[in-house]
């Protein structure tokens, strides 16, 4: 495994879910696999869960871990090609990436969408500089268009909590005071499309995700109708794709509340976190027994450990 970005990179989903269950059951069974191997985790953006869970996963495998906050440590990095570097950025990604690659065996990188250049974001220009120039396997810890470690953990959590063979899973947009990336919903749709679930996506008009993810997916503009008989409700905010990066609505009639949850089949509530309480979801719902957001976050160690384990096995 040279990169982990899309659902295709994990291979057979059934096998990956079985491996995740094994890793969760015996997390230290491969604690020498990473001996004398180093993973560098590079953050262009903030993180709690990804930062801690990916470190934990690597340590479970016996690895050394280096964490770099690009905007605090190191030098401000220029990411544009062909520019005259006479500004405030003393180093180009083109040099920094292969240098970092010489200090470690695997790199994880978080670099959110810029919302300045839709084409550059959706061509994953920054992540591809790591994939093309680092010389070591690359794990996306949320890129401009995807968050695969999150989606893998989300699917594993649904597998753990489902009480029917093919549950109805609803991805619902919810209001937020800022314009958030499309990476989490994109990956959620990408993984649910190939999983054994009935997926429905619900959002206000103008919040359609990129067709490369939602082609063939049921989109319901009536949120209450979408919630009917659902087994899992996955809430997330995202900015408009069509009016790229725009915050078109903060309509709180889309907040997930107890009344809407009552329309479901006693559904579990999920969110990748961090969550804005009483914007995305009411306190009553996220504090209820139906909320599995903490178990979902705990499973981020599992998804990261499966991916890192496979990369280490490929380095043998």
Ligand X SMILES: CCC[C@H](NC(C)=O)C(=O)O
Ligand Y SMILES: NC(=O)OP(=O)(O)O
* Interface residue list for ligand Y (CB under 6 A): 47-51, 150, 272-274
Residue 192 CB coordination number (10 Å): 24
Among 35, 266, 274, 314, binds ligand X (CB under 6 A): 274
The smaller minimum CB distance to ligand Y, of residues 112 and 133, is found at 112
The smaller minimum CB distance to ligand X, of residues 138 and 144, is found at 144
Contact present, 143 and 124 (Cβ < 8 Å): yes
Q: How far is the CB of 272 from ligand X (least distance, A)?
A: 5
Q: Which stretch binds ligand X (CB under 6 A): 3-11, 127-135, 178-186, 262-270?
A: 178-186
The smaller minimum CB distance to ligand Y, of residues 50 and 290, is found at 50
Q: How far is the CB of 147 from ligand X (least distance, A)?
A: 6
The smaller minimum CB distance to ligand X, of residues 137 and 181, is found at 181
Among 127, 155, 184, 285, binds ligand X (CB under 6 A): 184
Residue 183 contacts ligand X per CB under 6 A: yes
Among 101, 108, 181, 245, binds ligand X (CB under 6 A): 181
Instruction: Measure the CA–CA gap between 206 and 223, rounded to whole angstroms.
Output: 14
Residues belonging to the binding site for carbamoyl phosphate are: 47-50, 75, 110, 147-150, 272-273, 300
The smaller minimum CB distance to ligand X, of residues 149 and 200, is found at 149
Q: Which stretch binds ligand X (CB under 6 A): 15-23, 87-95, 177-185, 293-301?
A: 177-185
Residue 177 contacts ligand X per CB under 6 A: no
**Helical axes 125-133 vs 93-102, angle rounded to 10°:** 40
Q: How far is the CB of 229 from ligand Y (least distance, A)?
A: 27
* Residues in a beta bridge with 200: 170, 218
Instruction: Measure the CA–CA gap between 241 and 211, rounded to whole angstroms.
Output: 10
From the list ligand X, ligand Y, none, partner contacted by residue 7 (C-beta under 5 to 8 A by kind): none
Q: How far is the CB of 87 from ligand X (least distance, A)?
A: 26
**Chain position whose Cβ is nearest to ligand Y:** 50
Q: Which stretch binds ligand X (CB under 6 A): 31-39, 61-69, 80-88, 181-189?
A: 181-189
Q: List contacts with ligand X (CB under 6 A).
A: 180-181, 183-184, 272, 274
């Amino acid at each position: 495994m040279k990169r982990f970005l899309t659902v295709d990179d994990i291979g057979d989903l059934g096998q990956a879910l079985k491996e995740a269950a094994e890793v969760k059951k015996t997390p230290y069974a491969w604690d020498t696999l990473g001996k004398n191997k180093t993973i560098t985790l590079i953050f262009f953006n903030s993180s709690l869960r990804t930062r801690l869970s990916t470190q934990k996963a690597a340590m479970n495998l016996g690895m050394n871990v280096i964490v770099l906050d690009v905007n605090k440590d190191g030098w401000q990095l220029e990411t544009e090609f062909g520019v005259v570097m006479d500004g405030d950025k003393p180093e180009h990604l083109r040099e920094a990436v292969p240098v970092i690659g010489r200090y470690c065996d695997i790199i994880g990188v978080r670099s959110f969408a810029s919302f300045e250049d839709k084409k550059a974001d959706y061509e994953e220009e920054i992540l591809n500089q790591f994939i093309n120039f680092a010389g070591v396997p690359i794990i996306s810890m949320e890129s401009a268009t995807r968050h695969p470690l999150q989606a893998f953990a989300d699917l594993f959590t649904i597998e753990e909590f489902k009480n029917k063979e093919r549950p109805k899973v609803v991805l619902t947009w919810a209001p937020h005071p800022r314009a958030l990336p499309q990476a989490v919903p994109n990956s959620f749709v990408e993984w649910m499309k190939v999983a054994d679930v009935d997926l429905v996506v619900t959002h206000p008009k103008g919040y359609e995700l990129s067709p490369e993810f939602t082609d063939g997916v049921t989109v319901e503009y009536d949120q209450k109708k979408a919630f009917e008989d659902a087994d899992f409700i996955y809430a997330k905010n995202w900015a408009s794709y069509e009016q790229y990066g725009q915050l078109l609505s903060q309509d709180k009639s889309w907040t997930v509340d107890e009344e809407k949850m009552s329309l479901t089949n006693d559904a579990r509530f999920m969110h990748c976190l961090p969550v804005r309480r009483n914007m995305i979801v009411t306190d009553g719902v996220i504090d209820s027994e139906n909320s599995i957001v903490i178990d979902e976050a705990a499973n981020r160690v599992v998804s990261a450990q499966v991916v890192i384990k496979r990369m280490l096995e490929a380095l043998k």
